[in-house]
Chains A and B, each alone.
Chain A
Amino acid sequence: AQSVTQLGSHVSVSEGALVLLRCNYSSSVPPYLFWYVQYPNQGLQLLLKYTTGATLVKGINGFEAEFKKSETSFHLTKPSAHMSDAAEYFCAVRGSGGGADGLTFGKGTHLIIQP
């Protein structure tokens, strides 16, 4: 079984500031980890994912995330926020084993960008 905790339902940063969205997971098997973004009235779009290999993964729009097994974390960062980054961000996990592949999502973090 897997679970995801996203700390902070709302995060507000100034334009140009560092973005840090936190995600912690639990999984009984090695996890696959994902960050999705949702803009208003749109579906979920994959930002980046970790499956195996390099623990620092880069995604679209300048975002990156680092898988830290010892901390069971997969925090999302971006060095410099842009107004267009304002959206809802979801962290998700699934087990790496065969078979079950439904994603388990966190509750989401609403990112607000202050001008």
Chain B
Amino acid sequence: EPEVTQTPSHQVTQMGQEVILRCVPISNHLYFYWYRQILGQKVEFLVSFYNNEISEKSEIFDDQFSVERPDGSNFTLKIRSTKLEDSAMYFCASRSGRSSNEQFFGPGTRLTVL
């Protein structure tokens, strides 16, 4: 069964460093998303991406964040200069198309900023 994959499963970085979280959405899906979950808090929407551009972003998704689909299969989230408060589980999701409402989630990347 097709699934969304994410790498790495756990990333540890120093404050101020850049990190790139990687996701491989389900093949032939057209809509892509990033969410995050700070420990003990709710899952929060960050950004959605369609047709090679951001279609929606939340207040959390400030200038420190960027997304890219560099090669037609990967979907990446970059944090330019990490802060302690960026420590969280980051989930990638994808959706097939307009007629489908289901977002398929990956297993997440746990980001720890020291």
A-side residues, CB < 8 A to B, are: 32, 34, 36, 41-46, 49, 51, 90, 92, 94, 99-108
Contacts and interface: CB of A to CB of B under 8 A. Distances in A.
B55 interface: yes
15 contacts: A32-B101, A36-B105, A43-B105, A44-B93, A45-B105, A99-B56, A101-B48, A101-B55, A101-B56, A101-B95, A102-B35, A102-B56, A102-B58, A105-B42, A105-B45
A104 B45 contact: yes
Interface in B94-112: 95, 101-108
A100 B106 CA distance: 21
A102 B45 contact: yes
Given A51-B101, A102-B56, A103-B103, A44 B43 contact: yes
A100 B55 CA distance: 8
A45 B102 CA distance: 10
A76 B69 CA distance: 36
Contacts of B58: 102
